Amino acid sequence: MRQWWKTHRKKVYLWVPIGVVGALLLVQLLYPYGRVVPFQTIDTLAVGGWQKQDAAWELAHQNAASDVQIAFGERTQAQYSPTAGDLGISAGYEPAIEAVNYAWYWRLVPTSIFWLHAVNNADVAPSYHYDDAKIDEYMEDELGGSCQIAPINATAEVAEGEIRTVPAENGGTCEEDEVRAALTSAEPVLAQNTEVRIAMEEIPAELQEDDVQPLVDAMNQALEGGVQVAYDGGALDVAADDVRSWLEFSTEENTLQVNFSEAAGEFLNEQLAEPLNTPAGVSKIVTRDFVEVSRENGATGRAFEAGKTLDELHNYLLGKTDKIEAATRQVAPREEYTRQYSSSDRGLSALMQHFAEDNDGVYGASLIELDGKRRRAGYQDTRKFTTASTYKLYVAYSALKRVESGEMKWSDQIAGGRDLAKCFDDMIVKSDNPCAEALVAKIGYRPLTVDAQSIVSQNTTFLDTESYKTTAGDLSTFMASLATGQISLNQSSQNRLIDALKRNEFRQGVPAGATGQVADKVGFLNGLLHDAAIVYSPSGTYALSVMTDGSSWAKIAELTREIEKLR
């Protein structure tokens, strides 16, 4: 090997470089003419090695997405920032790509494939096309055809540890032809801020820097050394930087408005709520029925008022006051009731009312005793509720009347292959809807209303445009009339309905709270829960109806238990 190297090394030194240069020239000569020279950048986009048509498309696509800043007159802020595509401006990059073409003579220069991109003239401007229809559409949508630019009032801002005035920006009017001419001369370039400035006849802002400066000076003077919030003989020191960080400025009604961020209230609450808040006591009140019989008043408490304290800070900053005092409000003592009830109509009514007031939801309740003291009590017992399935009581009554008159027969087919006998039972026991709806259609809304109102009040109706309506008082009246036989049905019809009510499958309301057997009909629809019942209690029979919106079966059962305790 040593001998070979001594003999041939001069040839190696000569031919290896020649071979490398030859290979490189071959690569350069064979480099595809349809591709951009390697490492080339056009308008900040690296397109080296790309197919020329791909590079042209991507450059045009990104150009269409670039922003065009449209400013008017001497305004520092652009009024609009559409993309070139929004304005219908499209750029053709074929001239720029051809300007950096890898020409044949450059291919003969060794290593040019590596450095030609650095000497290429890539600054050739693209060709631009303007879509007049798109520009007109944009002008109509954004300028509304009037070319009026609203002025911006002077305001204030916090910067570099002080409050500064922000100068006004005048508005104005412009000529649409000038806008169109400016837009059709815009030449967006990638990665550059393309600005279109349009002349306008200026309209001054209502609020100028001289109007705002006195308030800014007052606030800066007030914040020298921070502020103090006085309370109970002490004071909370608040750093000026903290106060400045809370400030928010606006110019509503052409005046400088000074507001505070949520952080201001949070800070004051953290610092002052604990030393200033004192809990209220408890007032213990004893009532009998609806009458207060004794009261032991609890102590009045105190609560810190962050909002009113910020009002004090606001006035201090604007020079309207020379001090800031923490604001508080009185907190009334919580009322704790011990309720006592007499076993009278009034006492039972008070029990119902207080139960409704102490629990969630809307209530209507009615009690009618059918023997013994024969007491009657109620709370909102004339309030109209959507019936839910309690309307089936009135439908059952109308059906029984028609069977007695011979207009209908128990063997009549009603719904789903079921005859009237089966449908009647399912409607009351299982609260079946198809049977009830079929009977309503068969009997009619007006006859049903007339039949029901022959027993109860005109508050019960099938003719309401929203839904069937009834009241707790009407349901109790119906159940009481049924239980005592004061209803225009023969005994067998009454027994048939009462027997079905005793077999009602839904027992979570009145039956769950009552002692003794219960014949009842429930209704439930969305948030409505109703129960109308005849209770055969050991202490005497009574009718009880509870209609609710937003309550629960457990609460209806609880109210029933409370009523039975008082009876």
pLDDT on residue 6: 63
Which whole number is the average pLDDT over 84-99?
A: 91
Task: Name 169's bridge partners.
Answer: 152
Q: How far is CA 172 from the centre of its chain?
A: 38
Cα–Cα distances in angstroms (integers) from residue 93 to residues 45, 55, 126, 264, 538, in the given order: 12, 8, 5, 55, 99
Neighbours of 340 (CB within 10 A): 13
Measured between alpha carbons, how far is 258 from 45 in angstroms, rounded to an integer? Answer: 47
- Considering the four listed CATH numbers 1.10.3470, 3.10.20, 3.40.50, 3.30.1330, the one that applies to the domain covering 223-336 is 3.10.20
Contact 226, 239 (CB under 8 A): yes
- Pick 25 or 243 by higher pLDDT: 243
Going by pLDDT thresholds of 50, 70 and 90, the confidence category of residue 252 is confident
Measured between alpha carbons, how far is 260 from 247 in angstroms, rounded to an integer? Answer: 5
Q: What is the mean pLDDT of the chain?
A: 92
Which whole number is the average pLDDT over 273-279?
A: 95
pLDDT on residue 411: 96
Going by pLDDT thresholds of 50, 70 and 90, the confidence category of residue 77 is confident
Neighbours of 232 (CB within 10 A): 10
Cα–Cα distances in angstroms (integers) from residue 8 to residues 1, 2, 3, 93, 168, in the given order: 10, 10, 9, 54, 85
Which one-letter amino acid corresponds to residue 500? A
- Domain ranges in the chain? 2-66+88-147, 223-336, 345-566
- The string of pLDDT tens digits covering residues 476-514 is 999 999 999 999 999 999 999 999 999 999 999 999 999
pLDDT on residue 146: 67
Which whole number is the average pLDDT over 141-161?
A: 86
- The string of pLDDT tens digits covering residues 202-223 is 889 999 999 999 999 999 999 9
Enclosing H/E stretch for 71: strand 68-72
Cα–Cα distances in angstroms (integers) from residue 44 to residues 27, 121, 192, 443, in the given order: 27, 13, 10, 84
Measured between alpha carbons, how far is 400 from 496 in angstroms, rounded to an integer? Answer: 9
pLDDT on residue 112: 85
Kindly give the interhelix angle for 306-317 and 209-222, rounded to the nearest 10 degrees: 110
- The string of pLDDT tens digits covering residues 294-332 is 999 999 999 999 999 999 999 999 999 999 999 999 999
Measured between alpha carbons, how far is 87 from 194 in angstroms, rounded to an integer? Answer: 13
Residue 191 has pLDDT above 80, yes or no: no
Residue that has been written with the tokens 């059952």 in this structure = 396
Going by pLDDT thresholds of 50, 70 and 90, the confidence category of residue 9 is low
- Pick 356 or 140 by higher pLDDT: 356
pLDDT on residue 179: 87
Residue that has been written with the tokens 């629990």 in this structure = 359
Going by pLDDT thresholds of 50, 70 and 90, the confidence category of residue 118 is confident
- The string of pLDDT tens digits covering residues 20-35 is 677 878 887 888 988 9
Q: Return the CATH class of domain 345-566.
A: alpha beta
Counting Cβ atoms within 10 Å, is residue 426 exposed (0-12), middle (13-18) or buried (19+)? buried
Neighbours of 12 (CB within 10 A): 10
Cα–Cα distances in angstroms (integers) from residue 206 to residues 71, 148, 156, 240, 346, in the given order: 20, 16, 15, 30, 68
Which whole number is the average pLDDT over 70-79?
A: 85
